[in-house]
Amino acid sequence: MEPKRITELAKLKAFTHPLRIDLYRLLHLRGEATASQLADEVDQAVSLVSYHLRKLHEHGFIEEAPKRAKDGRERWWRVSSEQGFTFLGRDFDDTPEGVAAMAGVTRELLATRSAQYLNFLDQQAGWGKEWTRAAFTSEYLPRLTAAELQELADEVSALAQRFVERGKAADEAGDTEGRQAVALHMYGFPFRP
């Protein structure tokens, strides 16, 4: 199943805020949570977290999970699509505002991903050799056409999706022993040496 593709500028802009990115990521990993639980994890006020959750909800990134609520005061949230979402520069490159929004979201994602990797580097001694030996960072410098770069992106995405589905199936079967959330960050872009 493919991730949902964002093509609306307002929706893309709504995801630019770093706290919204963190909250979305946490909900994706946790499954369901309340604003209070998330506020504790991100060390922010519940009112601020609630505001950003409402914005994510307004743009369809998350939805309420009412079955978890014990009373009318407690709102539980979950991501709207288990497959996540994607956005492509070509959907926003026809206006300066679209290009700027795309750059803003991408920069914010890069900043949060970099912080996540730096956190792993700082804490890797606590993960044990099995995990530190399995972790990787790679750089390849192929000479490709734009079409070949797109083909590479499609193949890497399909490979990663197979592992996402494998992990999901294992979780559903109760096979959670030894499983951890894994961040896979890869970038492919042209550059001039």
Q: Is the pLDDT of residue 192 over 90?
A: no
| H or E element, residue 130 | helix 129-134
The structure tokens listed for 181 are 């959330």
Q: Out of 3.40.50.11540, 1.10.3720.10, 3.30.70.600, 1.10.10.10, which CATH number does the structure's domain 4-127 have?
A: 1.10.10.10
- Per DSSP, 139 falls in state -
State the chain's mean pLDDT as an integer: 91
Compute how many other C-beta atoms are within 10 angstroms of the C-beta atom of residue 112.
Answer: 15
Angle at 113 between CA 138 and CA 128, to 5 degrees: 65
Residues 125-141: pLDDT tens digits?
999 999 999 999 999 99
Amino acid at 107: R
Q: With pLDDT > 70 as the criterion, what percentage of the chain qualifies?
A: 96
Q: Are 92 and 99 in contact (CB under 8 A)?
A: yes
What is residue 72's predicted lDDT score, i.e. its pLDDT? 66
Can you tell me the distance from the alpha carbon of 193 to that of 140, in angstroms, rounded to the nearest whole number? Answer: 14
* Total-model pTM: 0.82
What is residue 131's predicted lDDT score, i.e. its pLDDT? 94
Q: How confident is the model at residue 83 (pLDDT cuts 50, 70, 90)?
A: low
Q: Is the pLDDT of residue 82 over 80?
A: no
Domain residue ranges in the chain: 4-127, 136-193
